[in-house]
Structure 1
């Protein structure tokens, strides 16, 4: 009998569809905003908005295609030596990814395989075989959630920063701009929680994050810390466009730190450099355990700088632009930065002190139906640890 936390449930299948719809709507609202700016002859805003969409697509397609190739070449995943995945050759997969359909291909495979397992009841499998099939589904879901994480921090988070900067610096705004911001926030929130839950379910020696309060506290911690940083960066950009240089330096520091840690996530050196650059971007907005090692000291240092940035931005706004000090705009944004900072840090401490599932689950072996370690499993183990 399978434990409930080891099952790819019907609810999980339905939520996968919800994640797909959110992903599509987020991209289309951003494209809509880009076209709006183009009609208004705001070519810089239009170009930057579209650039982030394209960058997110390119990064996710590159990793998705490489992982497909790795799985085809892995003798444990593909013992028959097939040269196709779901009837698609490497050339066919390459064509799909060039046209930005890689994630949709993965969604189709996950939904199709999951439908057969969770909606069509069958007694033809033993308990060990069922455990293996559910574990395979979670591995597929984790690959997809990794790609959504990449897309979230390469496209949605920078997009959110850009649109907030435009909204805060303009006297007028549109519903489409607010929709773009709202769906970017939802997409990031979804990718964070989905990634964490899929990752912990796909690794047999790590306990699943409990639903309810632990999930809510973790989500609040991530959303509040990310939101406060984005608002602080937006204020700094309003004060001076040259703040982009400081943001670039922060990204480079994150990338260099990832390089110093000598990550070995990718099968090729060139893709590893891209991976480190993406992780550097993620670290610009939130903290993750880069190599799955103890990071208590690194996390403390990170959030000291985090608190310093969030304290500095409102102070500089009041100092350099005193005419805005008493405006509703300055007071609202400054209050949000302080409130989100405090709430985010409280949720951070509460989660890791009281709710974090750090005790290991019994390690599965070949008898459990999970088999020896494959490239896909190694990939999951080497990705960012929450």
Structure 2
């Protein structure tokens, strides 16, 4: 059973779920609007790129959702819970059809909202199961964000710089992408922290600083790639294809164990490589300080090369108004993000506000001594834990001082 030290599903969990659905629908709506605008204006190339990003993101997310659906149905005692889930309540073939038609992710949103409403408003049993669902949805949002929102933000920035103008629809797309990324950062980190004791919860000031340093690190990366693409548009794909396999290889070398099948694990490693192209994401247990330093050094060097390349190939006349400013601000912004990240772990981390709380996993061997949320059947069936998010909580919070 779930340890009493951990909080149950609350109104705040329900609120985060509702806002998450709203941001998801807003993101989808803005994508459709942008695509329609490109198509109606005859800008078929941008239309094709946008649709390609949307399709790629949707397929990847649906694959993860389907893999998890199959894994969970094989867990002992899980069948007694499927009547509570909009997605799991369907038979396997019908659920497969939903995923093939790219509706599995949306059904998970509906499942979380419906089950969360039953637990929070109607005071029904199943709080642990509601949290289980929100953990999976949080991870899927993370994947969807970096498969679509981050590349789309890069695309919209590129178009704005390339055409030296921006329409309302482009501003809407940028706002939707930034909103999706921002909400993902807060929601995902909050989901991970739910594996920790209540007294180690993250406060609002700590959450704001955490969000800010992530934003300061991601924004310069997106801007550097977008600027590079304006001068060498055919080479931006080559740049990604050169770096991405290296990042996937690094994920493999860290011996990730997130999925329950070999094919699913390679899909996860490929997705981690895509996430790393934009932002740091810890995937292995143990001290992460060295890995983080290696990653940020690599990304900072790569970003510097992209900026220098853009500077020498840019049009001096068209870019004279903003080029020197960007060349100075983007590296400084990334440096500020690194400094703020260091400040967060030194001053704003929840355990710094409550020093008597020992972080989960601190000073313990890998994989030992960590308690995780579980879900339990009202009929007394065996408990099932969310191994996926538990794995990430172990990796993320193994040692505070190493992060």
Cα deviation code 1:24-79 (max 9, x no counterpart)? 11122122212222222222211110111111111111111221121111014336
Deviates more, 1:63-72 or 1:324-333: 324-333
| C-alpha separation in 1, matches of 2:373 and 2:39 | 57
Aligned to 1:214: 206
Q: Aligned equivalents of 1:69 and 1:50: distance in 2?
A: 28
Give ranges in structure 2 of 5+ residues lacking alignment: 352-357, 361-368, 397-403
CA offsets, 1:331-363, max 9 Å, x none? 343344134212211211111222334633596
Q: Where does residue 126 of structure 1 map in the other structure?
A: none
- 2:49 aligned with 1:48: yes
Residue 137 and residue 87 in structure 1: after superposition, are their counterparts in 2 closer, same or farther (change >3 A)? closer
Q: Do the aligned residues in 2 keep the contact of 1:71 with 1:77 (CA within 8 Å)? A: yes
Q: In 2, Cα distance between the equivalents of 1:206 and 1:255?
A: 35
Match of residue 189 from structure 1: 182
- Please identify, of 315-324 and 303-312, the stretch whose mean Cα deviation from structure 2 is larger: 315-324
Cα deviation 1:146-172 (Å, max 9, x = unaligned): 111110011111111111111111133
Taking a change above 3 Å as real, the CA distance of residues 186 and 297 of structure 1, as seen in their structure-2 partners, is same
* Pair 68,297 (structure 1): closer, same or farther in 2 beyond 3 Å: same
1:11 to 1:190, Cα distance in 2 relative to 1, 3 A: same
SS of 1:88's partner is: coil
Counterparts of 1:367 and 1:174 in 2: how far apart (Å)? 48
Q: 1:365 to 1:272 in 2, by over 3 A?
A: closer
Task: Tell me if the contact between 2:6 and 2:198 (Cα under 8 Å) persists in the aligned partners.
Answer: no
Shift of 1:373: 6.8
Which runs of 4 or more aligned residues in structure 1 lie more than 6 Å from their structure 2 counterparts after TM superposition?
A: 2-5, 79-82, 365-373
Summarize the Cα distance change of 1:80–1:326 in structure 2 as closer, same or farther, 3 Å threshold: closer
For normalisation by structure 2, the TM-score amounts to 0.83
Distance 1:282-1:29 versus aligned 2 partners, 3 A rule: same
Task: Provide structure 1 residue ranges, at least 5 long, that are not aligned to the other structure.
Answer: 123-129
Alignment partners' CA distance in 2, 1:381 and 1:34 = 38
Measured after TM superposition, the shift of residue 134 of structure 1 is 2.8
Root-mean-square deviation (CA), in Å? Answer: 3.0
Does the residue aligned with 2:79 lie in a helix, a strand or coil?
coil
> Which residue of the partner structure matches residue 7 of structure 1?
8
**What's 1:18 paired with?**
19
Report the Cα distance in structure 2 between the residues aligned to 1:248 and 1:184, rounded to whole angstroms.
Answer: 23
Which runs of structure 2 are paired with 1:249-260 in the superposition (5 Å)?
249-260=242-253
Count of matched residue positions in the alignment of Structure 1 and Structure 2: 373
Change (3 A) 1:335 1:31: farther
Contact between 2:375 and 2:383, CA under 8 Å: does it hold in 1? no
Partner residue of 1:89?
A: 91
Distance 1:291 1:86 in 2: 30
Is 1:377 matched up with 2:365?
A: no
Greater alpha carbon shift after TM alignment, 297-306 vs 313-322: 313-322
1:60 maps onto 2:61 in alignment: yes
Matches within 5 A, 1:120-159: 120-121=122-123, 133-159=126-152
2:258 is paired with a residue whose SS is: coil
The range that moved more, 361-370 or 24-33, is 361-370
Whether the aligned pair in 2 keeps the contact of 1:221 and 1:345 (CA below 8 Å) is: yes
Q: Residue in 1 aligned with 2:298? A: 305
Residue in 1 that maps onto 2:232: 240
Q: Which residue of 1 aligns with 2:222?
A: 230
The alpha-carbon distance between structure 1 residues 354 and 275, as it changes in their structure 2 partners (threshold 3 A), is same
Shift of 1:312: 3.5
1:321 positional shift? 3.3
The match for 2:37 is 36
Aligned to 1:102: 104
Q: CA deviation at 1:144?
A: 0.2
> 1:360 is matched with which residue?
359
